[in-house]
A and B are shown apart, each in its own frame.
Chain A
Amino acid sequence: MPINAPPPSVRVVTLRIDGLDLSAREDETIIEVCRENKIPIPSLCWMDGLSVVGACRLCMVEVTGQNRLLAACATRVAEGMEVTTDSEKLRRYRRTLVELLFAERNHVCSVCVSNGHCELQWLAEACGVDHVRMPYRNAGYGVDSSHEMFRVDHNRCVLCTRCVRVCDEIEGAHTWDLMGRGSDCQVITDLARPWGESDTCTSCGKCVQVCPTGALVKQGTSVGEMVKDQHFLPILARRRSTR
């Protein structure tokens, strides 16, 4: 169905990313411009179609004139901006962040249903994580398998909150929330009741599809069989914003 979007009344700015002169709409973020121009930046919490939380910090970039690193997903472009997406320092930071994600919970890829189709694994590869230099915490987290169709394994959760946002912003059910702090932080359904008993969950499965790891999966999948399909998101999100 063609959408009659109003003609854009936004201005266009020019900026320089990794030495390339680019133009972009002034309401775009750095990561959006990079994605459009095929400039790779790792990201985890950001997702085209969801609101921005800037939680994972994997998309950090250097901006000339700023003495701190900025999250590309949470920073709007500006006229004359000069961005560096790849440097020794950025690589070091990103690799450390990914390692910390592995060290915090229990990612046993070889038995995980998401093995081979996991964004955390891809990130590890992209960031050169061949091993984890800090000690694993080895703390056990729960598995909630009470839902007919889906399961959440907190051992594999990276707290990106994509599930929370998609459920709230796209499905409108707001089943998911965050509870607890630090390493105890966990995604919960309704008021921390078992997912299978949730009154709000419509079983649409959107959270499962957007979850980057094997934390949210379909029941009945075996090792390596959980392949996620996220192409629905930008379509639904655009329809929503133009309603």
Chain B
Amino acid sequence: MTLCTLPGTATMSRTISIDPVTRIEGHARISLQLADSGEVEDAKFHLTQFRGFEKFCEGRPYREMPALTARTCGICPVSHLLASNKACDDLLAVSIPPTAEKLRRIMNLAQLLQSHALSFFHLSSPDLLLGWDSDPAQRNIFGVMAQNPELAKQGIKLRQIGQTIIEMLGGKKIHPTWVVPGGVNEPLDSSKREAMLEMLPNALTIAKDTYALFKTMVPRFKDEAEHFGTMPTMFLSLVSPKGQLEHYDGFLRLKDAEGRIVEDMVPPSDYPRIIGEAVEDFSYMKFPYYKPMGYPNGIYRVGPLARLNNADSCGTPFADVALAEFHMLQEDSGPVRSSFHYHYARLVEIIFAIEMMQRLLKDQGILDTRVRARARGNRNEGIGVAEAPRGTLMHHYRIDDAGLISWVDLIIATGHNNLAMNQSIKQVADAYVDGNKLSEGMLNRVEAMIRCYDPCLSCASHAFGQMPLSIELKDAAGNTLDRLVRDA
């Protein structure tokens, strides 16, 4: 990791940019615009990578879409796989066999488990455990290993369990092709079911222990909780028909910052009525917003925080206790507002995912062999919405009569959070950035705040590779005065 500061002239108004934000998935660039007074005037999160993926799909058979879109990202391919196959189910105009739906749900929850474990243990626990101002060379999973080997080990184990379940179901860890339009292409066999059920109690113990530990740590982060994205925004997520926590299907719910329900039981296929997408010059990532309130007022957040704020309950015993405790993080009775609590929400969801997988695997019909509905394209437009670990993921396709793709739109979780991330960066910068120096601690807090959202920049820009990230300082005239570049 190198830290280089380019020589800058002493002008009053400047911009600070943060280049590689380490330990987030994919890369991006942050720039902070300082006013003449030295205060942070504006903060921007840039994504500069090519976004041509939607174009690239045109003319291809729709059945390639699950594999094609899963390859926009090596980090959350399972989420794309599910949302894409749901959009294809919609094109086929079939309802898939109930067992297939349960199996897909298990895969989605396993993905949630492994992704949240990665985010919490590998990416965020170094900050939380070792502190933002600790030696950067130590502030990683190996540093955690040195200080709390048990926690690091358990984190690795938990993630492994999620990955193993995905692999057992799909045959492959990273890019399984088991989920297909109309269902899944192979039923579950009983030995795999037993093997999965055997792993889960251990996972639940780890999840509960980690949750209990983190609960005791939360008060230490009062400062961060107050500055990491506490702006009022709405929250968007799926909920089940009963209003419970939901990750695979259900209806869209939007709550405002005070906790009032703004939209409820919106069928996913109706998303274009409530979600618009704005484009900004400085980023290749689109800016979705709540249409009736316009851009940029229609700001909302998605992901674990939004899902827990929106759900009336989880529907599993331990997760419901944790959900009640989660709500106590907010002093008033409204939704939990600080983005810092994404971490907390992730731990609650890990517990939920494990409990729910146990329930689904114990279901009598789970070994049923009817797992696929067969049909051809029966509609010209299909929409698939699922909750990815990072938030609501929308796939929207149009096909011609022969089944070739004519139009694609993907709205990904990191996109939904784009507006909120930009505002949160500004808020953190206000609190921690002193215009005169670019300290490690300040940089780390800006990074740490972004990590709360656990953004997946690799699929946000639909980029295939990794992109470095920098912090840049600009004066009012746009001259770069100072710049920090760090290589991972």
Q: Is the CB of B64 within 8 A of A111?
A: yes
**How far apart sit A111 and B71, CA to CA, in the bound complex (Å)?**
9
- Least distance between B115 CB and chain A CB atoms (Å): 21
Chain B residues 392-428 with CB under 8 Å of chain A are: 402-404
Shortest 5 CB-CB contacts between residues of A and residues of B: A145-B402, A111-B67, A222-B180, A223-B67, A223-B177
With known contacts A145-B61, A225-B180, A110–B67 Cβ distance under 8 A: yes
Q: A222 is contacted by which of B66, B71, B175, B376 (Cβ under 8 Å)?
A: B66
Consensus secondary structure, chain A interface: loop
**How far apart sit A229 and B338, CA to CA, in the bound complex (Å)?**
59
The answer to whether B244 has its CB under 8 Å from any CB of chain A is no
Chain B residues 168-190 with CB under 8 Å of chain A are: 175, 177, 180-181, 185
Q: Is the CB of A219 within 8 A of B68?
A: no
Encoded as 1 (CB less than 8 Å from any B CB) or 0, chain A from 91 to 122 comes to: 00000000000000000001111010000000
- Least distance between B100 CB and chain A CB atoms (Å): 13
Q: Give 23 CB contacts A-B under 8 Å.
A: A110-B71, A111-B67, A111-B68, A111-B71, A113-B64, A115-B177, A140-B59, A142-B59, A143-B59, A143-B404, A144-B402, A145-B61, A146-B402, A151-B61, A219-B403, A220-B63, A222-B63, A222-B180, A222-B181, A223-B64, A223-B66, A223-B177, A225-B180
Encoded as 1 (CB less than 8 Å from any A CB) or 0, chain B from 353 to 381 comes to: 00000000000000000000010100000
The answer to whether A196 has its CB under 8 Å from any CB of chain B is yes
The answer to whether A23 has its CB under 8 Å from any CB of chain B is no
**How far apart sit A108 and B297, CA to CA, in the bound complex (Å)?**
42
Residue of B nearest to A144 (CB): B402
Report how many residues on chain B are interfacial, defined by Cβ distance under 8 Å: 19
Residues of B within 8 Å of A143, CB to CB, are: 59-61, 404
Q: Is the CB of B402 within 8 A of A220?
A: no
Binding site for A on B (CB under 8 A): 59-61, 63-64, 66-68, 71, 175, 177, 180-181, 185, 374, 376, 402-404
- Least distance between B184 CB and chain A CB atoms (Å): 10
- Least distance between A144 CB and chain B CB atoms (Å): 8
Chain A residues 179-216 with CB under 8 Å of chain B are: 196
The answer to whether A84 has its CB under 8 Å from any CB of chain B is no
Q: Is the CB of B63 within 8 A of A221?
A: yes
Q: How many A-B residue pairs have CB under 8 A?
A: 48
**How far apart sit A113 and B180, CA to CA, in the bound complex (Å)?**
12
Residues of B within 8 Å of A221, CB to CB, are: 63
Q: Is the CB of B71 within 8 A of A196?
A: no
**How far apart sit A224 and B61, CA to CA, in the bound complex (Å)?**
14
Residues of B within 8 Å of A110, CB to CB, are: 67, 71, 175
- Least distance between A145 CB and chain B CB atoms (Å): 4
Q: Is the CB of A220 within 8 A of B374?
A: yes
**How far apart sit A222 and B181, CA to CA, in the bound complex (Å)?**
8
Given contacts A143-B59, A151-B403, 4 further A-B contacts (CB under 8 A): A111-B64, A111-B67, A140-B59, A223-B67
Residues of A within 8 Å of B402, CB to CB, are: 144-146, 196
**How far apart sit A130 and B181, CA to CA, in the bound complex (Å)?**
32
Q: Is the CB of A219 within 8 A of B376?
A: yes
**How far apart sit A27 and B64, CA to CA, in the bound complex (Å)?**
46
